[in-house]
Amino acid sequence: MSKLFIDEFKEQQRINFKISDNHGFEKDSDYNFGTKIALMHAELSEALESYRMGDPQSDHIPEFSGVEEEYADVIIRIMNDAERHGFRVAEAMLAKQKFNAGRPYKHGGKKI
């Protein structure tokens, strides 16, 4: 199951990067890691705003809510940057999931 997830994630990552590249967003010689991270943050802010407005249906993909669309945008941006850098996000996610499963209940004692 894990290998299947990793393989499919990487295939979707390649597809997303190709789409972005074909539309001129990856060939930019002015690539800046900080800007890409800020754009990931921006998608999360858009998800929050949609939620604050009652999470209406998306204008672009009406079978989904605004939050669902913005979450997808975050994942796509992460995949694109991972593809550019060769980051192993799928593998890291599974490793982190396993690590988190072994942590104690409400570890760290933080309120938020």
Domains of the chain: 2-24+34-99 (1.10.287)
Q: Given a cut of 70, is residue 104 above it in pLDDT?
A: yes
Separation of alpha carbons 8 and 78, rounded Å: 15
Give the H/E segment covering residue 43: helix 33-52
pLDDT > 70? residue 28: no
| pLDDT of 112 higher than 80 | no
- The predicted model scores a pTM of 0.91
Q: What amino acid is encoded at 73 in this protein?
A: D
Four-CA torsion 4, 9, 92, 96, nearest 10 degrees: -70
pLDDT at site 78: 98
Backbone phi, psi, residue 57, to 5°: -65, 150
